[in-house]
Amino acid sequence: MAHDPRDELHQELPTDHPDTLISAMHRVIQWAVKVLAALMVMVILLGVADVVYVLYQKLVEPPMFLLDVNDIFYVFGAFMVVLIAIEIFINIRLYLGSHVFPVKLVVATALMAIARKIIILDVEKLSYQYVLAIGVTLLALGITYWLLTLKPAAQSEH
């Protein structure tokens, strides 16, 4: 009998649950996740179109074909939104493939979202409490990601 590696993982929504009602509900939720994946692909494509449009708009405004610092930050923000959407799609795809919630990738996605926020921050218009809160959030997510990457002592001995 072939060994299925998914048998070793904690499955969040097993479709072979002994209770038929729970099994049916798990299948419905898995179908909903597939719909979300398809919608996320559409959001990504629309996001790419938006990046092209934003870049085009910024390049045709006088002075033509020149971007100032604010324009560059605006374009970076548009890029980062698309990259975050791609990360969310990857989270969904991994979940569909393994039925296990990819915690490490979710934390990495949150780090990317905070990085986007930092890139487009206008610190002159924000209170120090807001900037401090973002810094604390970034630190907490960074530590969480680092802790998730550590291998337990039992695994490193093998």
In tens, the pLDDT along 116-146 reads 888 777 778 888 899 899 999 999 999 999 9
Query: 7 falls in which pLDDT band (50, 70, 90)?
Result: very low
**Residue 12: inside a domain:** no
| CA angle, 137 then 94 then 140, to 5° | 10
Q: 117 exposed, middle or buried (CB, 10 Å; 0-12, 13-18, 19+)?
A: middle
**Residue 9: inside a domain:** no
- CB-based contact 103:148 (threshold 8 Å): yes
**CA pair distance 18, 14, nearest whole angstrom:** 10
Given this model, what pLDDT does residue 6 score? 46
pLDDT value at 24 more than 60: yes
- CB-based contact 129:112 (threshold 8 Å): no
**Residue 10: inside a domain:** no
pLDDT value at 70 more than 50: yes
**Residue 80: inside a domain:** yes
* CA 77 and chain centroid, separation: 15
**Residue 85: inside a domain:** yes
- What are the tens digits of pLDDT across the range 33-52? 889 999 999 999 999 999 99
Given this model, what pLDDT does residue 11 score? 61
User: Looking at this protein, which amino acid is placed at residue 111?
Assistant: L
**Residue 1: inside a domain:** no
**Average pLDDT of span 76-101:** 84
Given this model, what pLDDT does residue 61 score? 87
> CA 90, 94, 96, 102: dihedral to nearest 10 degrees?
-110
Q: What beta strand segments (E) does 5-154 contain?
A: none
Return the residue matching tokens 């930092």. 118
**Residue 137: inside a domain:** yes
Quote the number of domains for the chain. Answer: 1
> CA 123, 84, 107, 38: dihedral to nearest 10 degrees?
150
**CA pair distance 15, 6, nearest whole angstrom:** 13
**Residue 75: inside a domain:** yes
**Average pLDDT of span 52-71:** 88
Query: 155 falls in which pLDDT band (50, 70, 90)?
Result: low
Query: 12 falls in which pLDDT band (50, 70, 90)?
Result: low
- The residue segments making up the domain with residue 103 are 19-149
Share of the chain above pLDDT 70, in %: 85
Given this model, what pLDDT does residue 35 score? 93
